[in-house]
Amino acid sequence: MDHRSFDNKRIAQGYACDRPWLHKQVIERLKSDLNIVKNFHNGLDVGCGAGLSTRALKLICDRVTGTDISGEMIRACIENLDASEYTFYVAKAEETHLPETPYGIVTAAGVINWVDKDAFLENMKLVMVPKGLLVIYDFWISDRMQENDAYTEWFHDFYLTEFPKPPRKEEVWWQSDLLEGFIIKDQVTYKMRHEFDLDAFIRFMMTQSNVHMQIQSGQKTENEICWQMKQTLSPIFGEISQTLIFDAYSWYIERQ
């Protein structure tokens, strides 16, 4: 599986409608970690997906541009966000266009698993202001629900068995790995939480790459997977909502 697998209308719609807006929490943490008290003039969101991360960046930017390699994702952004406040275009993370005004901040959510690191950083040198901030972050579902051990068993015994994790780059970027001209200011890990009812959780799980890979390859249909999820998760949820725990990280990198 590679980044081209996300150029899919079903996934783009799912990202726009069925994923929680945890990116806002990431930006709030960024403000606290780095003591950011005023807006950046111009920001770039690389690998913007359906625009959730772009909306979050707009909380601390006067103007935001979002780019993604997927045309379907960019269409979802244009359909769902106000064109007077955002600019969107299709581009690889390594090939974003030179802006009229260089970016003071760039965010990249869930992107580095798929990029050529050196080519990406070379591009960032071109589009960012000196002392600009590059924020690389991601979050993902864990095997934990708050006070619900049955979910942990389901996650390992059903989910990862039926839907193995597809391969991707998962190495941490250390200072020695970066091109000259970039300094890691901090790297933090943390937890986030979000409450789902059963139907919302199933819709969210249908956007996971593990699940999408099987639908895309024809191994299972959407209806089959939804039925499996409903049958196996109903005893875990019962009639109430449950709080899923997400693992997360943020890396704060300064462009010298």
- Whether 167 has a pLDDT exceeding 50, the answer reads yes
Spatial separation of the C-alpha atoms in residues 124 and 147, rounded to whole Å: 43
DSSP assignments along 47-70, one per residue: T-TTTHHHHHHHTTEEEEEEEES-
DSSP assignments along 89-147, one per residue: EE--GGGPPPPSS-EEEEEEES-TTTS-HHHHHHHHHHHEEEEEEEEEEEEEEEEEETT
> Domain residues of the chain, as ranges?
3-255
pLDDT reported for residue 1: 41
Sign of the torsion angle spanned by Cα atoms 242, 195, 51, 53: negative
pLDDT reported for residue 166: 85
Any alpha helices (H) in 159-208, and if so which ranges?
160-162, 198-205
Mean pLDDT of 158-184: 94
Half-sphere exposure of 16 (CA within 13 A, CB side): 18
3-255 CATH, one of 3.40.50.2000, 2.10.109.10, 3.40.50.970, 3.40.50.150? 3.40.50.150
pLDDT reported for residue 4: 52
pLDDT reported for residue 5: 58
